[in-house]
Structure 1
Amino acid sequence: MAEYIIDEDYDNVRVDKFLRKKYKDIPLMGIYKMIRKGRVKVNGKKTKEKYRLLEGDILKVITNDIVKEKKFIKLDERDSKLVTQGIVYEDENILLFNKPYGIVVHKGSGHDYGLIEILKSYYKNSDINFVNRIDKMTSGLILAGKNLKTIRTYTEYIRNKEIKKYYYVLVKGEIKEKKFVIESNLLKGEKNVNEVAEDKEGKWSKTIFKAIKVNNGYSLLEAELVTGRTHQIRVQLAEKGYPILGDYKYGVKSGKKMFLFSHKIEIEKENFKFNLELPEYFSEKLF
């Protein structure tokens, strides 16, 4: 059985189109057969091929003999060390992880496995899954649920904007404003969802920025996400003329690291708050 938590990239996508993308070896008639026989469920209930997925939906696919899945990957010493060094907090329900830059969260796009596959194998728990997401070159805090009940609860928090997320950002240029807000409409590319641009037809996006330190031609900002669109901070700052260092897609196309770090998560309903210090590589660049 495979399980997917629908994120913004697949919001409003039909179930059959989602399955065709995930299971390219299964013919279209085979996908329809899976749906008719109840092997595809959304939020625990049978679905139809025309159903349009919503962000936060939990989609289960009972593949059985249709697709042979490898449940857990074999971890090497490097993978195990990645887990033990990255755990910030955990209990029986949640896991808060400090993801290094350069690590993908999910397999795909040339990667046989990502951080979530490593964690599933480390804990021998196929239910564990992230409730938020950060890009490959973004580092910092990312939150996972260890069971389906917790995942549903926390994805609902995300949907209702009840989880506050803050990032440290280092940009080129000395920003004079102490505090500023960027609101824009962001639209993904039709052929490549990882290409995002400001467009009046896009989704409304909002970020609150505070200047923390301005020095040596650079500005250290704290960004509070009001919405959580793909590449939101990266595109908004680039359009304002303050590209993020190390952002090869939208920003300064040099260096091995992107200076975007998820440093704080707050969930008032759970009395949950964690805040990480500024990474050393930020300080080395700024001071």
Structure 2
Amino acid sequence: MTEISKNSVIHTLITENEGGQRLDNLLFKQCKGVPKSHVYTVVRSGQVRVNGRRADVAYRLQVGDVLRIPPMRVAAASPAQAATSGAEMKLRLPVLYEDEALLIVDKPAGVAVHGGSGESFGVIEALRRQRPQARFLELAHRLDRETSGILLLGKKRSALLALHRMFREGGQGGASGAADKRYQVLVCGRWLEPLRHVRLPLVKFLLSSGERRVRVADDGRAAHTVFRLLARWDRFSLLEAELRTGRTHQIRVHLAHLGFPVAGDEKYGDFAANRALAREGLKRMFLHAWQIGFPHPVDGRRMAVQAPLPAALARFLELLSTPESLAYGRSV
């Protein structure tokens, strides 16, 4: 799709990347800096046209449609918006894999995947600003703000829809059409079982403050996580978590319910232990999306991508294994 001009009328042909989207959503993405209220005004006044005719804001664009977009009034950027824009441009997002349909990045901890809910910007906003030439770029799935690691994005709408279908299917123990998502997670406590399947249904709820949380409940949605023991110390255990379903906060809630909270988890963790861990050098949640296997959304070839542990997490594991670290004991 042709880039929007703020000073002249644009006529552009809708491709497969834009087909199926609501008209207003496409205009919000294309007309950066234009107030939403103004976008709605120009659509309802008939200045935006599809195939020469007026169109409702909810109209689903079709491949082959010709879209007319008039000049748009851009809102002046506030100092806060300017600071946010600078932060977006400086956000470092290592690229793990990229082709014409797919982008895979290594998301750092402490950054949301998208803006909203108190976040001024996220990974998707940063990538769009860093790649102004990109015709299409959308998140294929989510990672918690506190979680680091592998994040997939679609660069074509057809690829994005295929990725969405794949993630909806969930993990099927390596089935060819599903994603095999693995995390490394450090928990408080001595985990004894080499392999454990955890099937505990989860339900979302709101705190009195309005904050979203998740808990185990009989009437919740089915959730299945497979845990494998990687290493163990006197007070901590390193696990690999394989997601067979993709519920919100699934790994964190399953582990907390079992009495093995994730080290550094500020929502579901052991808060006294977290304060001690911060003094010892772990200042974030120890949950990292380190590996994924999945069929490529275009040609179906099996993909395998890994993201190494961030330096801060690797250093903390070294501390646990150091003989001088008597507070934590030796690995067994």
Partner of 2:117: 109
Residues 258-273 of structure 1 correspond to what in structure 2 (within 5 A)? 258-268=285-295, 269-273=300-304
Q: How far apart are residue 199 of structure 1 and its match? A: 1.3
Residues paired across the two proteins, number: 244
The answer to whether the 8 Å contact 1:170/1:282 transfers is no
1:218 aligned onto 2:236: yes
Residue identity over aligned pairs, in percent, reads 32
Q: How far apart are residue 275 of structure 1 and its match? A: 2.0
Q: Which runs of 5+ in 1 are unaligned?
A: 6-24, 46-61
1:79 aligned onto 2:89: yes
Partner of 2:7: none
TM-score by length of 2: 0.64
Question: Which structure has the bigger radius of gyration?
Answer: 2
Partner of 1:169: 185
Report the more deviating stretch, 170-179 or 104-113: 104-113
User: Structure 1 or 2: larger strand share?
Assistant: 1
The DSSP-based 3-state class of the residue aligned with 1:248 is coil
Listed one character per residue, the Cα deviations across residues 77-101 of structure 1 (whole Å, up to 9, x for unaligned) are 8734513xx1111111111111111
Listed one character per residue, the Cα deviations across residues 50-98 of structure 1 (whole Å, up to 9, x for unaligned) are xxxxxxxxxxxx998999789x988538734513xx1111111111111
Report the more deviating stretch, 224-233 or 142-151: 142-151
The DSSP-based 3-state class of the residue aligned with 2:290 is strand
* Cα distance change, pair 68–135 in 1 and its aligned pair in 2 (3 A): farther
* Cα distance change, pair 225–66 in 1 and its aligned pair in 2 (3 A): farther
The answer to whether the 8 Å contact 2:187/2:237 transfers is yes
Q: CA separation in 2, counterparts of 1:69 and 1:177?
A: 58
Deviation beyond 6 Å, 4+ runs, structure 1: 62-70
CA RMSD of aligned residues (A): 3.5
Listed one character per residue, the Cα deviations across residues 233-261 of structure 1 (whole Å, up to 9, x for unaligned) are 00000000000011010013323200000
The answer to whether the 8 Å contact 2:88/2:126 transfers is no
Partner of 2:317: 283
Which residue identity does 1:267 align to in structure 2? F
Partner of 2:153: 144
* Cα distance change, pair 270–40 in 1 and its aligned pair in 2 (3 A): farther
Partner of 1:189: 205
Q: Which runs of 5+ in 2 are unaligned?
A: 5-17, 21-35, 46-53, 63-67, 171-177, 322-332
The DSSP-based 3-state class of the residue aligned with 1:203 is coil
* Cα distance change, pair 69–113 in 1 and its aligned pair in 2 (3 A): farther
Partner of 2:284: 257
Partner of 2:99: 91
